[in-house]
Amino acid sequence: DFDTAAIRQLDSAHFLHPFTDHGSLAEKGARVMVRGEGIYLWDSEGHKILDGMSGLWCVNVGYGRTSISQAVYRQMETLPFYNSFFNTTNVPAVTLAAQLAQLAPAPFKHVFFTSSGSEANDTNVRLVRRYWDLLGHPERHTIIGRVNGYHGSTMAGASLGGMAGMHAQGGLPIPGIVHIGQPNYAEAPKGMTEAEFGIVAAGWLEQKILELGPDKVAAFIGEPVQGAGGVIIPPPTYWPEIQRICDKYDVLLIADEVITGFGRLGTWFGSELMQIQPDLITFAKGVTSGYVPLGGVLVGSRVAHVLIEKGGEFNHGFTYSGHPVACAAALENLRIIQDEQLVNAVAVDTGPYLKQKFASLSDHPLVGHADSLGFVAGLNLVRKKAEHLHDCVPFDQALHVGMICRGYMFANGIIMRAVGDRMIVAPPLVMTQAQVDEMVDRIRQSLDDTLAD
């Protein structure tokens, strides 16, 4: 038992939070989360909240899974830690690496473990540069990312990402990382079809490669569906065209599947759905459903072959690479996803149901457009609706309508994230149809409240 006011005071006095304005934190006090069960959270004041965001897009199997805590406990009792440097290994890490290789879109045989998505993307930067060095092309060092992409918060992760606010703090991006536009159909020229826009947006990659010179470009990185950028679902023509361009210029393709991995889109990996075969896949979050930090890179045979055959030592790694406790949590989490057939549920049952229910929100006077794919969904709040999203009139950004709406969501017992005026969800994969109904009802109520404000 504790006193919420006292915790809030200690919090604002000592805890420097990520992505938080501490002025407003001190004023309002942090929300103290104390418990989770299934798709629900409880805060210290007894509010029960439906977690529409799976924490930070990660609690795929839902909260309160005792079989994961037991697996973690057993591993801690047996071997709480040992490193994987210098020719040592451990059973959970090996077992997990082999399982991930099986689950991944072929041909992936190797896994490099980290503790987070950011570290995994830093690893990608070093891997692709090492790859080209080993092939005798040290000049092929430039990596192309996308505006509004999110690839983490380390120096390389934040540089690969295309968040202007992050670049502005700390002099990013680091050298050798450049960006192209995002495939956001909402920003497409009027009259262009979605299919046409997909090809145009992918063409920006080709333009950038030609501008830099193909012999300077190491890799392209993108999220199959941009998450933190606002659930930007690309036109179906986009990714196959990106693949074609990467193949044409021999540029490595990195899919950042930190959000889209482990069932989020109704496939084990988003790359399957987008019909691409990346050379490297970043994963984290859903691999353990967030119960214990774990991330990594699935290394395709093209890169692994060069690294192993020509490589010598790869001078890179983390104390916690292949942490036995994190890997034990992942193994149990993957067992749950498999045994409960959660990926299939999102593909054929709850995913299509969410799509239908979310689309029904587009009749609301505030909603300009609502879309979803698998278990990610978003809706655009607009001042004036129109038949086509391109003709809707947006709100003045200074009004922060998204943030206001988020406040009503929370008051109505649902967590939804606001990216500007786009409201997004990424619910736990265990959500049932009845719970989708409950979520969408609460969203509608919150939209009504926002409209009345």
Q: Which residue has the tokens 């924490």?
A: 55
Residue 449, helix vs strand vs coil: helix
By beta-carbon proximity to ligand PLP, the closer residue of 161 and 368 is 161
Residue 154 CB, nearest approach to ligand PLP (Å): 7
> Is 50 in contact with 43 (CB distance < 8 Å)?
no
Residue 236 CB, nearest approach to ligand PLP (Å): 20
Residue 119 CB, nearest approach to ligand PLP (Å): 7
By beta-carbon proximity to ligand PLP, the closer residue of 41 and 228 is 228
CA distances from 342 to 271, 282, 334, 429, 431 (A): 18, 21, 10, 6, 10
Distance, in Å, from the CA atom of 129 to the CA atom of 138, rounded to the nearest integer, reads: 7
Residue 363 CB, nearest approach to ligand PLP (Å): 31
What are phi and psi for residue 103, nearest 5 degrees? -75, -30
Closest CA to 221 of 276, 285, 167, 263: 276
Residue with CB nearest ligand PLP?
117
Residue 252 CB, nearest approach to ligand PLP (Å): 17
Residue 119, helix vs strand vs coil: helix
Residue 228 CB, nearest approach to ligand PLP (Å): 5
By beta-carbon proximity to ligand PLP, the closer residue of 156 and 328 is 156
CA distance between the termini of the chain: 37
Residue 109, helix vs strand vs coil: strand
Cis-peptide into 107, omega within 30 deg: yes
By beta-carbon proximity to ligand PLP, the closer residue of 290 and 368 is 290
Tell me how crowded residue 102 is: count the other CB atoms within 10 A of its CB.
11
By beta-carbon proximity to ligand PLP, the closer residue of 229 and 368 is 229
Structure-token pair, residue 178: 């450049």
Residue 344, helix vs strand vs coil: helix
Residue 261 CB, nearest approach to ligand PLP (Å): 9
Residues lying near ligand PLP in the complex (CB under 6 A) are found at: 56, 116-118, 121, 150-152, 223, 227-228, 256, 258-259, 284, 295
What would the DSSP string read from start to end of 44-64?
Answer: TT--EEEETTHHHHT-TT-B-
**Interstrand relation of 417-419 and 422-425 (parallel, antiparallel or unpaired):** antiparallel
By beta-carbon proximity to ligand PLP, the closer residue of 62 and 295 is 295
By beta-carbon proximity to ligand PLP, the closer residue of 117 and 427 is 117
By beta-carbon proximity to ligand PLP, the closer residue of 425 and 440 is 425
Closest CA to 188 of 173, 179, 170, 201: 201
Residue 280 CB, nearest approach to ligand PLP (Å): 13
By beta-carbon proximity to ligand PLP, the closer residue of 377 and 440 is 377
By beta-carbon proximity to ligand PLP, the closer residue of 217 and 259 is 259
Residue 256 CB, nearest approach to ligand PLP (Å): 4
Residue 87 CB, nearest approach to ligand PLP (Å): 28
Residue 66, helix vs strand vs coil: helix
Buried b / exposed e over 321-355, threshold 16 CB at 10 Å, is bbbbbbbbbbbbbbebbeeeebbebbbeebbebbb
